[in-house]
């Protein structure tokens, strides 16, 4: 996934496409490519930067129509074969999203003599489109028209997709489609555009039409027509973009961090897409080699991570112990390196790193390997160093994250760890089918519940405004909400520069209560569960010392209204999953506090996105 562009008109398509792709470089990418039509389809792609792609494109192609893509790997390593576009005969496809049933499609198409050369899910779309348009590999005579073939194709896809497609039989036409992955059509004079992000085309046109889920666009130089997935005409309204290029990069949000908080409705879904079956009550990871016997033989899990990733790791300790019955330790990577860990061959070492390049985490993994441990990484970056150091990798599929403070990559790590703990519990017989099914049903509802929180963000903003001048903040929680409190404090420190601490609520009387004075803001994460009554007692304790209590509580909670000064409701979900929803609220609280204080939100002082030095 990353960036899609398309052009059809009077100008040299390759030049327009390269210029549009460069507008998307800020999103991050590992490879780039274009396909253009000129008698036939010509495809050029390259791992690395766009400047490397430019070197292999011939001059004077004289093409007027083409598609392009910058890729952030989610399936397959970052190399030229896995780069987009993907071709099947005289079809070329660029794709954003995740196709959940691609393995089934791959097996079906391979049996029909379609040859796969990449490791991506996207290549299956190219072959599927070719089959539906031409009937069989090698055929050059269409059995239907491209629109009908595309309608058939998208109805066979499960998952998310933003598509731009070239068909040699209609060389001046781009076919675009969308499902849970954005596509915008740009309108010009004698030329038209397609893109995944208005940033790519804002210098070319301000007139755009946004595709909705299940819609298709047929884009020609002089006209654009819109259809539903049954080829019925859809009438669309044009939008005039009033942003400049800089604002467009943030999709109209003031900061990348706010944009990335909002992207969690999609990134969380991507993290579990194609990996769960609530009917079967099962979790399946692509390319995970750990067998049932391997998981049953694990005696201990050792988590190593830094910063936000360590907070995710602490959460997973509770999950692995509760769901899988596996003793789990969590160490800060920089401390683990210089200690004397007791590890053995039946220890699974799990390294969590957003970038896959965190120096201390890499060094800690190498140390763990010296004990003969099996190693597994949770990371967002396909092909990063950590993936070459470990035995197994689970990708969070969060997409590029520009803001220094982790938001969607943190929740992506949480979902990956939830799934691994659930899978381990099922393999070890600790979780029954019905319990597993109920958790997975609740998990599938999380993206919609995140959207509800985002729709009600104004209450969080008002709360942040009330305390933006405070000199300290405290966050408290119990059990799974304790790591959430730590992460909330870290976020607030990072971007607002307010001194903030997270505590296990039961530890308040062991020292932290001495810091509470009249008006001190204390955020109590008090969602329902087996520690709820204890949290109420802790809230009473801090209220008695004069604190102002901001409670994160279930939306149907009447009891907490007796004790909290401010209540921010969170949608009701399974007890194990509520930390994900509370996290969204607390990210917003940190963001709006920093906004009120005029801080540099996307680039906080003294911090870097990826810590590649010790």
pLDDT of residue 124: 96
CA distance 119 to 82: 6
- Euclidean distance between CA atoms 16 and 340, whole angstroms: 57
Could you read off the pLDDT of 217-232 as tens digits, one per residue?
Answer: 999 999 999 999 999 9
What pLDDT sits at residue 614? 56
Superfamily of 2-249 according to CATH: Aminohydrolase, N-terminal nucleophile (Ntn) domain (3.60.20.10)
Retrieve residue 193's tokens: 């555009």
One of 2, 167, 373, 599 is an active-site residue; which one?
A: 2
Write the CB contacts of 199 (distance below 8 Å, at least 6 apart in sequence).
Answer: 23, 24, 26, 245, 248, 249, 251
Q: In which band, very low, low, confident or very high, does the pLDDT at 313 lie, cut at 50, 70 and 90?
A: very high
Provide the CATH number for the domain formed by 456-614 in this structure.
3.40.50.10490
| Residue range 54-98, pLDDT digits in tens | 999 998 888 999 999 998 777 667 788 889 999 999 999 999 988
CA distance 295 to 303: 16
User: Residue 611: its pLDDT value, please?
Assistant: 65
Domain with CATH 3.60.20.10 in the chain: 2-249
The percentage of the chain sitting over the pLDDT mark of 70, rounded to a whole number, equals 97
Q: What is the mean pLDDT of the chain?
A: 93
Q: Please state the pTM of the whole predicted model.
A: 0.80
SS3 536: helix
In the chain, ranges of CATH 3.40.50.10490 domains: 253-454, 456-614
Element spanning 369, H or E: helix 359-369
Look-up: residue for tokens 């675009």?
A: 176
* pLDDT value of position 14: 95
**Which residue among the candidates 437, 572, 603, 609 is catalytic per the annotation?**
609
Could you tell me where the DSSP H helices lie in 118-206? 122-134, 146-156
pLDDT confidence of residue 610: 61
Quick one: pLDDT at residue 382? Answer: 78
Separation of CA 587 from chain center? 16
Least-confidence region, from 37-46, 142-151, 242-251, 527-536? 242-251
Q: How far apart are the first and last CA of the chain?
A: 31
Tally of CB atoms within 10 A around 513: 16
Residue 599 token pair: 């801080």
Task: Say how many CA atoms lie within 13 Å of 197 toward its Cβ.
Answer: 27
Q: So what's the pLDDT on residue 323? A: 97
* 232-251 core/surface letters (b: 16 or more CB in 10 A; e: else): eeeeeeeeebeeeeebbbbb
pLDDT at 343 over 90: no
| CATH homologous superfamily for the domain 253-454 | Glucose-6-phosphate isomerase like protein; domain 1 (3.40.50.10490)
Beta strands in 123-221 (DSSP E): 161-167, 174-179, 184-187, 192-195, 207-210, 215-219
Mean pLDDT value across residues 546-571: 95
Strand bridging mode 327-332 / 300-305 = parallel
Give the DSSP letter string of 548-586.
EEEEEEETT--GGGGT-SEEEEE----TTTHHHHHHHHH
Tens-place pLDDT, residues 3-24: 899 999 999 999 999 999 988 8
Q: Is the pLDDT of residue 401 over 90?
A: no
**Known catalytic membership, residue 2:** yes
pLDDT (0 to 100) of residue 64: 96
Residue with tokens 């011939």: 58
Q: Which of the four pLDDT bands, split at 50, 70 and 90, describes residue 29?
A: confident
Q: What is the pLDDT of residues 430-451, one digit of tens each?
A: 999 999 999 999 999 999 999 9
């Amino acid at each position: 996934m990353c960036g899609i562009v398309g052009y059809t008109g009077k100008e040299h398509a390759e030049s327009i496409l390269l210029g549009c792709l460069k507008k998307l470089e800020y999103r991050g990418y590992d490879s780039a490519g274009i396909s253009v039509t000129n008698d036939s389809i010509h495809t050029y792609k390259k791992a690395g930067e766009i400047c490397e792609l430019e070197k292999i494109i011939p001059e004077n192609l004289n093409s007027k129509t083409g598609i392009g893509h910058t890729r952030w790997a989610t399936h397959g390593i970052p190399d030229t074969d896995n780069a987009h576009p993907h071709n099947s005969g005289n079809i070329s496809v660029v794709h954003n999203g995740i196709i959940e049933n691609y393995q089934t499609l791959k097996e079906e198409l391979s049996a029909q003599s379609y040859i796969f050369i990449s490791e991506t899910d996207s290549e299956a779309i190219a072959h599927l489109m070719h089959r539906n348009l031409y009937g069989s590999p090698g055929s050059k005579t269409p059995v239907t028209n491209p629109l009908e073939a595309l309608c058939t194709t998208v109805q066979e896809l499960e998952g998310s997709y933003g598509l731009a497609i070239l068909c040699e039989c209609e060389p001046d036409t781009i076919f675009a489609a969308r499902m849970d992955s954005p596509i915008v059509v740009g309108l010009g004079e004698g030329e038209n555009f397609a893109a995944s992000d208005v940033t790519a085309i804002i210098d070319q046109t301000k007139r755009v039409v946004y595709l909705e889920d299940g819609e298709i666009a047929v884009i020609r130089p002089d006209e654009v027509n819109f259809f539903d997935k049954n080829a019925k005409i859809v009438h669309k309204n044009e939008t005039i973009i009033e942003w400049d290029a800089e604002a467009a990069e943030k999709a109209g949000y003031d900061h990348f961090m706010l944009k990335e908080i909002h992207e969690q409705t999609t990134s969380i879904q991507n993290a579990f897409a194609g990996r769960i079956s609530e009917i079967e009550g099962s979790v399946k990871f692509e390319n995970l080699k750990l067998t049932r016997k391997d998981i049953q033989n694990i005696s201990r899990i050792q988590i190593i991570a830094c910063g936000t990733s360590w907070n995710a790791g602490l959460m997973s300790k509770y999950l692995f112990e509760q769901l899988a019955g596996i003793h789990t330790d969590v160490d800060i990577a920089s401390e683990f390196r210089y200690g004397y860990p007791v590890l053995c061959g039946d220890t699974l070492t799990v390294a969590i790193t957003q970038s896959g390049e965190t120096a201390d985490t890499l060094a800690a993994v190498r140390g763990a390997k010296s004990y003969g441990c099996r190693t597994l990484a949770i990371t967002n970056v396909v092909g990063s160093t950590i993936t070459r150091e470990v035995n197994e990798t689970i990708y969070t599929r969060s997409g590029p994250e520009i803001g220094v403070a982790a938001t969607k990559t943190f929740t992506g790590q949480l979902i990956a760890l939830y799934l691994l703990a659930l899978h381990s519990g099922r393999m070890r017989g600790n979780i029954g089918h019905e319990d597993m099914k109920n958790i997975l049903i609740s998990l599938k509802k999380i993206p919609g519940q995140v959207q509800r929180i985002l729709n009600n963000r104004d209450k969080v903003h008002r709360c942040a405004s009330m305390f933006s001048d405070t000199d300290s903040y405290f966050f408290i929680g119990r059990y799974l909400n304790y790591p959430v409190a730590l992460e909330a404090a870290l976020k607030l420190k990072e971007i607002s520069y307010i001194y903030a601490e997270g505590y296990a609520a039961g530890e308040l009387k062991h020292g932290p209560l001495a810091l509470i004075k009249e008006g001190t803001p204390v955020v109590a994460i008090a969602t329902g569960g087996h520690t709820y009554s204890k949290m109420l007692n802790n809230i009473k304790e801090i209220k008695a010392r004069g604190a102002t209590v901001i409670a994160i509580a279930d939306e149907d909670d009447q009891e907490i209204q007796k004790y909290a000064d401010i209540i921010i409701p969170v949608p009701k979900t399974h007890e194990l999953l509520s930390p994900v929803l509370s996290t969204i609220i607390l990210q917003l609280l940190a963001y709006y506090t920093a906004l009120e204080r005029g801080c540099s939100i996307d680039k906080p002082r003294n911090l870097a996105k990826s810590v590649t030095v010790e």
